[in-house]
């Protein structure tokens, strides 16, 4: 079958101005789309339909381990772990190693365990906006969304994020596909790894009532995970705390500003966020546009296409979550929506470990912001709000607002 010719350039600046228009086209015309990633000319697949996404994410023959990637992928520089300890993080492990490490961390992230974070979240949110007043202009990314989750996670992990800004820059670099960034990625990767290892060493010397100390006890006293697995577990917690929830809070607030009727629903009844509201915001624009690469361990047929072993697969959850075959009027934000489960926090064995924490932090942060400043509005024209042009993320550089 001849490769489908698309009327746009994937992951270009024009694409990022409105990715959903391109994804809608692919979902109809080429739902399992053969694509050559321009960096390294890596043949891969872009999957956009909900049913195909669920199939792939639930099939353990689709590995997340980067070493399973094709020769072209290995040579391209697209690998995030690059053979370092980052290859041991939970999102990059297959069973049975994945099962072992995830089980070690699970007890800290059950809804009941995370519910005990409420006091910390409330304190951090209140402190973050303590000096905010109506009429001020603030950047909701730098001054709110980037601060609240990272402060909460650092509290729970047991360390101070005095290098938060550098870590945020390093995490952005780690997943950049801009060739201009490539020379800086190895140093960024090493700084992230060093930070996680420093924290483990600190907490091994001075244990406390925190998650890092609990993970160390599991490794040292119970022998459940190795040193590399322990370091990687703490590192991925730092990455998630600094990055992913920040993106979701930003995306959710922008979606609400785009839909004043839905913003008013929260102002009138903040409890809606604790029910269907937060789920609809995750569906509408999740923090990730595509989950981490999937690599078939054998030749597999999906959606009428034969995908070869090792060929990278992008599962575009941003598209799956707006599939009209599954969600009625999918481009409309409806906080009372119920029905099919969104894929905003993944699916299958690699569904988001910190989902309960992300939900709690985002729910409380958004509810407080709307309650204190119900007249919040954009400080710039909507068409000047710019996405961060990283293919895997739904991320915005800044979100200036008037309180």
Whether omega for the bond prior to residue 70 falls within 30 degrees of 0, making it cis, is: no
Compute φ and ψ for 379, nearest 5 degrees.
-95, -10
C-alpha separations of 252 from 112, 256, 288, 363 in Å: 24, 6, 13, 10
CB atoms within 10 A of CB 191: 18
CATH superfamily for 76-280+329-402 is: Cytochrome P450 (1.10.630.10)
From 263, 281, 250, select the one nearest 398 (Cα to Cα): 250
Compute φ and ψ for 315, nearest 5 degrees.
-95, 105
**Do 334 and 67 form a contact (C-beta atoms < 8 A)?**
no
From 399, 390, 389, select the one nearest 366 (Cα to Cα): 399
Whether 255 has a pLDDT exceeding 90, the answer reads: yes
- Percent of the chain at pLDDT above 90? 64
34/165 Cα distance (integer angstroms)? 37
Both structure tokens of 153: 């996670």
Both structure tokens of 11: 């992951």
Q: Return the residue matching tokens 């202009």.
A: 137
Whether 131 has a pLDDT exceeding 80, the answer reads: yes
Q: What is the strand order of the sheet 313-315 is part of?
A: 32-37, 42-47, 313-315
Residue 194: per-residue pLDDT: 92
From 145, 135, 150, select the one nearest 401 (Cα to Cα): 135
Residue 318: per-residue pLDDT: 97
Residue 265: per-residue pLDDT: 94
* Domain map (residue ranges) of the chain: 76-280+329-402
Whether 293 has a pLDDT exceeding 80, the answer reads: yes
Residues 144, 146, 149, 155, CA torsion sign: negative
290/322 Cα distance (integer angstroms)? 13
To which H or E segment does residue 36 belong?
A: strand 32-37
To which H or E segment does residue 301 belong?
A: strand 300-302
362/149 Cα distance (integer angstroms)? 8
Whether 272 has a pLDDT exceeding 80, the answer reads: yes
Residue 44: per-residue pLDDT: 95
Whether 51 has a pLDDT exceeding 90, the answer reads: yes
What pTM does this model have? 0.92
Both structure tokens of 145: 């969304």
84/354 Cα distance (integer angstroms)? 23
141/299 Cα distance (integer angstroms)? 42
pLDDT tens column, 359-393: 999 999 999 999 999 999 999 999 999 998 888 89
Arithmetic mean of pLDDT over the chain: 91
CB atoms within 10 A of CB 99: 12
pLDDT tens column, 13-44: 999 999 999 999 999 999 999 999 888 899 99
The DSSP string of 91-155 is GG--TTHHHHHHHHHHGGGSHHHHHTTHHHHHHHHHHHTTT--TT-EEETIIIIITTHHHHHHHH
C-alpha separations of 273 from 123, 256, 353 in Å: 19, 12, 21
Residue 161: per-residue pLDDT: 65
Q: What does the buried/exposed string (b/e) look like for 23-57 if buried means 16 or more CB atoms within 10 Å of the residue's CB?
A: bbebbeebbbbbbebeeeebebbbbbbbebbbbbb
- Percent of the chain at pLDDT above 70? 98
The band of 83, judged by pLDDT with boundaries at 50, 70 and 90, is confident
Mean pLDDT of 283-311: 95
Rg (CA), the chain: 21
Please tell me the least confidently modeled range out of 164-168, 289-293, 328-332: 164-168
Whether 155 has a pLDDT exceeding 90, the answer reads: no
Please tell me the least confidently modeled range out of 113-122, 232-241, 297-306: 232-241
Mean pLDDT of 58-72: 95
Half-sphere exposure of 384 (CA within 13 A, CB side): 7
């Amino acid at each position: 079958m001849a490769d489908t010719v698309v009327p746009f350039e994937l992951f270009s600046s024009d694409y990022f101005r409105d990715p959903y228009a391109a994804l809608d086209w692919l979902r109809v015309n080429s739902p399992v789309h053969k694509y050559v990633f321009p960096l390294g000319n890596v043949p891969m697949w872009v999957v956009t339909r909900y049913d195909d996404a669920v199939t792939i994410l639930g099939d353990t023959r689709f590995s997340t381990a980067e070493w399973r990637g094709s020769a072209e992928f290995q040579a391209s520089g697209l690998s995030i772990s690059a053979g370092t300890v980052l290859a041991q993080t939970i999102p990059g492990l297959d069973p049975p190693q994945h099962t072992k490490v995830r089980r070690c961390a699970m007890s800290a992230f059950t809804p009941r365990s995370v519910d005990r974070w409420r006091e910390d979240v409330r304190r951090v949110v209140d402190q973050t906006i303590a000096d905010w007043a109506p009429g001020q202009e603030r950047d909701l990314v730098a001054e709110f969304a980037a601060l609240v989750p990272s402060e909460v996670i650092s509290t729970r992990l047991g360390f101070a994020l005095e290098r938060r800004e550098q870590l945020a820059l390093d995490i952005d670099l780690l997943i950049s596909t801009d060739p201009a960034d490539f020379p800086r990625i190895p140093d960024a990767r090493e700084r992230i790894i060093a930070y996680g290892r420093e924290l483990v060493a600190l907490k091994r010397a001075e244990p406390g009532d925190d998650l890092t100390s609990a993970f160390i006890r599991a490794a040292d006293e119970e022998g459940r995970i190795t040193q590399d697995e322990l370091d990687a577990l703490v590192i991925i917690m730092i990455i998630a705390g600094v990055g992913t929830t920040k993106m979701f809070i930003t995306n959710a607030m922008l979606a609400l500003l785009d839909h004043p009727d839905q913003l008013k629903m929260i102002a009138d009844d903040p409890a809606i966020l604790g029910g269907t509201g937060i789920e609809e915001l995750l569906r509408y624009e999740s923090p990730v546009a595509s989950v981490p690469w999937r690599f078939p361990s054998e030749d597999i047929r999906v959606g009428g296409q034969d995908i070869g072993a090792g060929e990278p697969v992008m599962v575009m959850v941003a598209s799956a979550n707006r599939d009209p075959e599954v969600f009625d009027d999918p481009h409309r934000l409806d906080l009372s929506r119920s029905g099919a489960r969104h894929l905003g926090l993944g699916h299958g064995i690699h569904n988001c470990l910190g989902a309960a924490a992300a939900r709690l932090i985002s729910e409380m942060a958004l509810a407080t912001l709307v309650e204190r400043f119900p007249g919040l509005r954009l400080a710039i024209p909507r068409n000047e709000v710019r996405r961060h042009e990283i293919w895997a993320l739904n991320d915005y550089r800044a979100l200036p607002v008037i309180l």
